[in-house]
Structure 1
Amino acid sequence: MARFTALLLLSFLVESVFSISFFLPVNSRKCLREEIHKDVLVTGDYEISEQANTKTHLRITDSSSHTLYSKDDATKGKFAFTTEDYDMFEVCFESKSPMGVVPDQLVNLDMKHGVEAKNYEEIAKVEKLKPLEVELRRLEDLSESIVNDFAYMKKREEEMRDTNESTNTRVLYFSVFSMCCLIGLATWQVFYLRRFFKAKKLIE
Structure 2
Amino acid sequence: MRAHQLFIITFAVVLLSIIHLVQSMSVVIGPKTADCYFEKLTEGEKLTVSYQVGEGGNLDIDFWIHDPTDAIVVSTTRTSSNTHSLQANMDGKYRYCFGNEFSGHSKKVGFNLHENIQKIHDNIKEHTDPLEREIAELAESIFAIKAQQEYIVVRERQHRDTAESTNARVKWWSIGQLVLLSFVCLWQVYYLKRFFEVKRAV
TM-score, normalization by structure 2:
0.50
TM-score normalised per structure 1: 0.49
Q: Which has the larger share of helix?
A: 2
Name which one, 1 or 2, has greater alpha-carbon Rg.
Answer: 1
